[in-house]
Amino acid sequence: MKPPPLQRRYLASFRVPQVSHRFTDVLVIGSGVAGNAAAIHAASVPGIEVLLLAKASLEECSTYYAQGGIAAVLAPEEHEDSLDSHIEDTIEAACGLADPAVVRIVVEEGVRRVEELMAWGARFDQKDGRIQFTREGGHSRPRIVHTGDTTGKEIERTLLVEVQKATAILPLRETFAIDLITRDGECRGALVHRPSGDLQAVWAKRTILATGGAGRLYRETTNPIVTTGDGLAMGLRAGATLRDLEFIQFHPTTLYVAGADRFLISEAVRGEGARLVDKNRERFMTRYHPRGEMAPRDTVSRSIMKRMRELGDNKVFLDLSGIPPERVLERFPRIREFCLGFGIDILSEPIPVRPSAHYTIGGLRVDPVGHTDVPGLFAAGEVTASGLHGANRLGSNSLLEGLVFGARAGEQAAHEALGAVLRPAPFEPAANEIWPGDIKGKDHLDLADLRSSLQSEMWRHVGIERTGDNLRRTLRQIEEWAPYVLEATFHHPIGWTLQNMMATGYAITLAALRREETRGVHFRADFPERDDARWARHQDMKIEDLTLHAEETGE
């Protein structure tokens, strides 16, 4: 069977007069914690100019919506904590696939980066002048710093203040990165779509992808609308290696009410003492794991799904009655306000919840300073597989990773740019592809319906529990869509986004099919045991690897 045509040919499709040109030292694509940190630290190198691109507004990113907090051992004496303890918890959660050296880098440097945030004005919760810590699943000690239940919003605010202060950073909002520009195997920038509708070639000495994850590939997700796997697809097409794409983390507790977004109910709620109960108001987590509600997220998610099947229900409940009301009001004001909008007062009644797609653990393979294997291309944050998370991310380590790897990638890219020469190259229009051309088949393509169908397919068959038969079904379905979606010529972000989602969804599904074991967040019902003899290893993928053998397609 022919694999889907994942390699677009945009850069062979444009006439030179229709593309304007811009030049910069360091191009950062993405304005979340990793992108902002990268831009700030790159701009701190004298003589470096930085262009920071945001797909929507600067604030519209996963960082902004993060509730729980950021893990850092800032006061080890208070809770008998240590850097080694944080390292051990992270490695244990990763189920054998973490890189211990990377874990140590992030945990140790993370303390300095969080202190840097506070020096820049980040306001974390305090009592009597001392930072307040909480605990989340998988952590052996309270080491999560937070700002109520809007920690991500506070971190994003703090970083954007620094971005605006830096005269060497130019932020561009509502700018969609269509594809990376590569010549002779080297990344030289990106082709972007501006709000005016114009195309612009941004030539850069170094480019940093910080585009976040792919949670919007799933029907049930906590992710904002911009997290559609764009960076993964761009990196794949540019020739970068993707690693461990099968590992998608599902958050156990998101609000489940008809008509509501899958609003995340922070793990910190359970850390403060909330209990999961079924429709009979019976607590059930202790049946499945000795840590109960504080078990790792993948265990909690699967336990909830199991309990729902046992009772024939579509949700369970999070009971906050064990938390003092004043503490609920202090720690979770945003959650209470949102739930009140649907007639649920969390002070007196439980919250209906179920799991949703939350975090993309796999991604672009990077080294400890953010290099991908494409010269000139860096990556940081959720778009990467840095070696920190392995097969299961420990809660509140993601913001920490974004800070550390964003800073490292930004500094390294800037220093390399100082000694580099900007090398733009002309676009060569293809003989039979003229921009802006019509969408191939535009009269019969319902892009919204295709997107919804892909999300439903991914949720049903590439979700919390997977089987080989269902994964093969999804591969065949995407291959049916591919000829009229991936081969189409679009000239709007809606079409490009769908192409990115479809390419990324295909790669995730194939990776999940090929890993014939259960490990971390990847659960195969037909291979329910962890298999260290065959699978205690990473799974790397490049664009040329995305072909199916007959035994994989089942045909």
Q: Which amino acid is at 495?
A: G
Q: DSSP labels for 433-493?
A: --SSPPPTTTTT--HHHHHHHHHHHHHHHSSSSB-HHHHHHHHHHHHHHHHHHTT----SH
Q: State the Cα–Cα distance between residues 214 and 357, nearest whole angstrom.
A: 9
- The CA distances from residue 3 to 183, 411, 480, in Å, are 25, 39, 10
Q: State the Cα–Cα distance between residues 222 and 264, nearest whole angstrom.
A: 6
Cα angle: 447, vertex 451, 456; to 5 degrees: 150
Is there a contact between 238 and 373 (Cβ–Cβ < 8 Å)? no
Question: Which residues have CB under 8 Å from 351's CB, separation 6+?
Answer: 253, 255, 265, 317, 318, 320, 339, 344
Q: At what angle do helices 398-418 and 100-119 cross, to 10 degrees?
A: 90
Q: State the Cα–Cα distance between residues 449 and 466, nearest whole angstrom.
A: 24
H/E stretch holding 236 reads helix 230-238
- The CA distances from residue 108 to 6, 99, 543, in Å, are 39, 14, 35
The 3-state DSSP class for residue 268 equals helix
- Phi/psi of residue 441, each to 5°? 70, 25
Find the catalytic residue in 297, 331, 408, 451: 297
- Cα Rg of the chain (Å, integer): 23
Q: State the Cα–Cα distance between residues 117 and 472, nearest whole angstrom.
A: 46
Residue 297 a catalytic site member: yes
Closest CA to 516 of 495, 539, 493, 540: 539
Active site residues: 297
